Structure 1
């Protein structure tokens, strides 16, 4: 028997920016979270599950965690369902507000779980909570995390997580698109969907492909910087001096990782597919990663060189215990991702656990989801 309630978490809005379109949400200065409570009631340990944009109010792990004896909270940041204007630094502030609220409710220990794209966010959060260094977003905007008073979590879990949105986005980015305005004019020498290239893909092809993915990400970043400078100095202004400082744009081809079709790359038990179906279709459909973004959000979220939400880069600065849990059949977060995060941890309070046969969302696998939750609860108690 478990109980469920909704938490209204106070969080300061951005006073001078419209970062979400809804004025109701923006002005309420409230984040929402779903809490599942263990029976009998306890306030020793709470598990907080986070992601930059996903709606975790109904997260699959909440109920089993509560059934296993710890309270579990699924958080929505201010950017729920909205990649377009998301800045990772503001997500850090939102996670901080949630942890502070849980402390105020009386919980002795908070275990922060970064699930999927929440892995990079959780690592960035804990790094900045322990040793804050960031004073602005890559575009130079607030927040100043050194002044944010971020309460550290007591332990971290990277659950079915990849290293960060910019990293995985670049690994998914289609380098055959060489003209951003003409997404179907493709370079055949860099086309993973051209049968002449594979699958299976040669080592030489994969090396060229990865280099071209980085180059495309960096081309977009240079263009973004140029557009921001143009807006700052030359964009049209109103008679009273009002100027546009941000614009949206489209990125085509965001589901083209060769690992989606070639199972010999980063071998695992996964199927040859993506989270959104066949790679060729997912590569262009709007619902996949990062298709619609904005100049300032690109730098914070998708730029491989400028985004700070990079777990392998942040975990060396984390002193809290860290557990990395991954699924052997995951089609989004690969074994090398888990290894990179685990290897980045510089202390011995760490654990690497594989859930054999688990896919990214545990679809039709409730027993494996519960297995992951059992590992998280054990970790929470062992590190207490």
Structure 2
């Protein structure tokens, strides 16, 4: 269990001090065009003479200030940070489109002369890069050609260079699998955030919840029904999403035949899915479940019994396309374990022992699924966003950087 002296560890505690970059780094900003015509932005931190670049991306968050940037630069690698076309925005995050965003950056880095391109995926960035590597390694005609909502996607026509190596830090199993475990199944009325099914409420003391901060204790029977009910809720939302997607597809077909602007409007009009209460994984408050060094609480706060009802959370507002592509555990292709079967490049996988989103059993399955001959796994003390587990300890980022440095130096040309 975690040290009782753990520092401020959730919410505001995501900010972790890093180190200063080396002198001589030249930073330039770039706008890139994707194969399907979108525009994405990135920043190149270039070390003079550097032949290796480490690439940071996340499907739904900006990584321009990730604490490991300076560490990689001090190792002797240049660093590329890039946004997808929908940073900090769940509403239209379609992972298949995000792969085209990754591809634009990979082409750019090759075109400007780097000999080795190593991708770095932290948290959801791990699944994004695993999915990209899997698809890039396939012959174009074998790549996925439609999104889970049925929209054509141009992966077959895109140039998708395969990276030379992959670094994964605290990768979770994918947004869909995370939500599958933290969506609240006790929501009774879909449009009422306060509606409740009492026997499925993990925050009800009658079901095993204890005072906030004290580890709860749930029965096996409760957990079994809770997990089954979570899946049923996802299935219901999937049904709504598929209905919306089918309506839009029908309108596109009609417009192709009639060119009636009303059909065009219907095809374009978003039907937004609002998903209340998605901060409700029993592991947040029962520390005997999937035991590790994590502190009490979720990624969003020390009081998940409250944040579950707040605005912040996973997959709260989405289109049908985004729900099916990213947030549905049953429909998404962006599942780390599924994608890992396509990773044959050298791989370094580091987990945090106090992770609140990726647990040891997840790491066991995910790492085992990687067929690369050159693969290494390690664990360091830290929380999901690199916070130290106790006052006076190094941050998780600092500990991971030492291992990444040793691994990279043995395989790539660092300045």
Instruction: Quote the RMSD (CA, aligned, Å).
Output: 2.2
Alpha carbons of structure 1 residues 134 and 201: separation in structure 2 relative to 1, 3 Å = same
- Tell me how far apart the structure 2 counterparts of residues 50 and 61 of structure 1 sit (CA, whole Å): 12
What residue in structure 2 maps to residue 33 of structure 1? 42
1:242 is paired with a residue whose SS is: helix
Aligned length: 368
- Tell me how far apart the structure 1 counterparts of residues 35 and 307 of structure 2 sit (CA, whole Å): 34
Contact between 1:119 and 1:162, CA under 8 Å: does it hold in 2?
Answer: yes
User: Are positions 1:125 and 2:135 aligned together?
Assistant: no
- Tell me how far apart the structure 1 counterparts of residues 49 and 294 of structure 2 sit (CA, whole Å): 38
Alpha carbons of structure 1 residues 383 and 284: separation in structure 2 relative to 1, 3 Å = farther
Q: Which moved more, 1:208-217 or 1:254-263?
A: 208-217
User: Are positions 1:317 and 2:339 aligned together?
Assistant: no
Contact between 1:111 and 1:380, CA under 8 Å: does it hold in 2?
Answer: no
Deviation, 1:362, is 2.1
Deviation, 1:163, is 1.2
* Aligned mate of 1:152, from 147, 156, 162: 162
Alpha carbons of structure 1 residues 7 and 336: separation in structure 2 relative to 1, 3 Å = farther
1:74 is paired with a residue whose SS is: strand
What residue in structure 2 maps to residue 68 of structure 1? 75
Deviation, 1:91, is 0.7
- Tell me how far apart the structure 1 counterparts of residues 262 and 352 of structure 2 sit (CA, whole Å): 56
* Aligned mate of 2:383, from 359, 366, 369: 359
Contact between 2:344 and 2:373, CA under 8 Å: does it hold in 1?
Answer: no
Per-residue CA deviation, residues 162-221 of structure 1 (Å, 9 max, x unaligned), is: 011111111111111132122322112211111122221122222221121111111100
Deviation, 1:87, is 0.5
Alpha carbons of structure 1 residues 239 and 207: separation in structure 2 relative to 1, 3 Å = same
What residue in structure 2 maps to residue 374 of structure 1? 402
Deviation, 1:107, is 1.0
Contact between 1:33 and 1:75, CA under 8 Å: does it hold in 2?
Answer: yes
What residue in structure 1 maps to residue 114 of structure 2? 107
* Aligned mate of 1:289, from 307, 314, 326: 314
- Tell me how far apart the structure 1 counterparts of residues 90 and 201 of structure 2 sit (CA, whole Å): 27
Deviation, 1:75, is 1.5
What residue in structure 1 maps to residue 289 of structure 2? 265
Per-residue CA deviation, residues 22-62 of structure 1 (Å, 9 max, x unaligned), is: xxxx6xx3x22233344xx2332211111002111111110
Per-residue CA deviation, residues 53-86 of structure 1 (Å, 9 max, x unaligned), is: 2111111110111012211222111111111011
What residue in structure 2 maps to residue 46 of structure 1? 53
5 Å-filtered alignment, 1:170-189, equals 170-189=180-199
TM-score where L is the length of structure 1: 0.89
- Tell me how far apart the structure 1 counterparts of residues 170 and 117 of structure 2 sit (CA, whole Å): 19
* Aligned mate of 1:7, from 20, 29, 48: 29
Divergent runs of 4+, >4 A: 231-240, 364-367
1:196 is paired with a residue whose SS is: helix
TM-score where L is the length of structure 2: 0.83
Alpha carbons of structure 1 residues 248 and 118: separation in structure 2 relative to 1, 3 Å = same
